[in-house]
Chains A and B, each alone.
Chain A
Amino acid sequence: MKSYLIIIPAYNEEENIAKVLKDIKESNPDVDILVVNDGSTDNTSKIAKQMGVMVLDIPFNMGYGGAIQTGFRFAEENGYDFVITMDGDDQHDPYSVKNLIESMEQEGADVVIGSRFIEGTYKMGIAKKIGVWLFSKIARLYTGMNFTDPTSGFQLFNSNVFSYLSRGDNYPLDYPDVNIIMALHKMRFKVVEAPVRMMEKPNGKSMHSGLKPMVYVIKMFLAVVMVWVRRKGK
């Protein structure tokens, strides 16, 4: 039987983490869950441990990408076949996990990105809308494929991909975005999209808030250029 691991990076998510874990357990009873506590200063780790899931405690706040990569390393060391990444702020509907799995099986993909825009609507600010539009265009230009939601953190990876991303600098410390789609395409991994449901964030601070959108876009442009000019990594 194939083994799946859901990785949830969490930074100060004590208000949401219990509900997130409860919903995932109800919707995906056969899947292992790993919370990567990214140096939280609240009770995120304690609550997650009380919920009976595996918890990795990073001793300081490493950033979203660093936390996910820690999860990838865990998955590789423990021989998982597939990894699903979900946010710890209750935005991602765990019942959509099956869409990702079905899509991977049907299309023979290595990576499936959950898109909130294929089915249904999702309200977001103008700055983020522009960012998503811009990065979609960049992804299309580079890969020749349509990615409606390149900023989505709701993704499914097979072991070849998460093993590759778990090494060194193959995964960024801050926010993996369109640059990762491009990097994986460059490594000849098949990346596709599947519809998922995402909710507006009920509590806490979004992982993308606090970052000024302009700085983020400039940083992402630099990352995109670097993917373009770099040689293929190992």
Chain B
Amino acid sequence: MHLGIRLIIFGLGLILSIIIFELVRRKKFREELSLIWFIVGFAIMASSVADLIVDPIAKKLGIGYPPALVFVWVIFLLILALLYFSTVISDLKGKIKELGQKIALMEFEQNEKHKKDGD
């Protein structure tokens, strides 16, 4: 791989990491949710030299087209990221349910109190 290509890939990863860092700094992105995207950013930066590691591994595994190994690895990482966000959604759904139930119960109590105060 040419040095220029390596620098472009590294730069893209760096830009992504800086954008994520800025979003977290401005409190537009929660720290715990940003972690997975920092990993993606670093993975892109690391991929600028990935061929040095991937090519020999692909050769040993008998993969004729080494980038295929990178695609498999990236797809696996993205599936992990999706799974993580699904757990976050699931957790939020539970919390929204709790809130909805509490609002309904509190509103009822409040209305009953108003009725009693009015009598």
Q: Which residues of A contact B (CB under 8 A)?
A: 36, 54-60, 62, 66, 69-70, 73-74, 77, 168-169, 173
Q: Are A73 and B101 in contact (CB under 8 A)?
A: yes
The SS class assigned to the A binding surface is: mixed
Interface 9-mer from B10-18, B56-64, B72-80, B104-112: B104-112
A73 CB, nearest partner CB in chain B, Å:
6
Q: Are B104 and A36 in contact (CB under 8 A)?
A: yes
Q: Which residues of chain B have C-beta atoms less than 8 A from A77's C-beta?
A: 105
> In whole angstroms, how far apart are the Cα atoms of A73 and B107 in the complex?
14
A121 CB, nearest partner CB in chain B, Å:
37
B67 at the interface (CB under 8 A from A): no
A-B contact pairs, 5 of them (CB 8 A): A36-B104, A56-B108, A58-B104, A59-B104, A173-B93
**Given known contacts A58-B100, A169-B94, A70 and B107 CB-to-CB distance under 8 angstroms:** no
Q: Which residues of B contact A (CB under 8 A)?
A: 93-94, 97, 100-101, 103-105, 107-108
Given contacts A57-B104, A58-B104, A70-B101, 17 further A-B pairs with CB under 8 A are A54-B108, A56-B108, A57-B107, A58-B100, A59-B103, A59-B104, A60-B100, A62-B101, A66-B97, A69-B101, A70-B100, A70-B105, A73-B101, A73-B105, A74-B108, A77-B105, A168-B94
Q: Are B105 and A56 in contact (CB under 8 A)?
A: yes
> In whole angstroms, how far apart are the Cα atoms of A69 and B104 in the complex?
12
Q: Which residues of chain A have C-beta atoms less than 8 A from B104's C-beta?
A: 36, 56-59, 70
> In whole angstroms, how far apart are the Cα atoms of A77 and B102 in the complex?
12
Q: Which residues of chain B have C-beta atoms less than 8 A from A169's C-beta?
A: 94
> In whole angstroms, how far apart are the Cα atoms of A169 and B91 in the complex?
11
Q: Which residues of chain B have C-beta atoms less than 8 A from A57's C-beta?
A: 104, 107-108
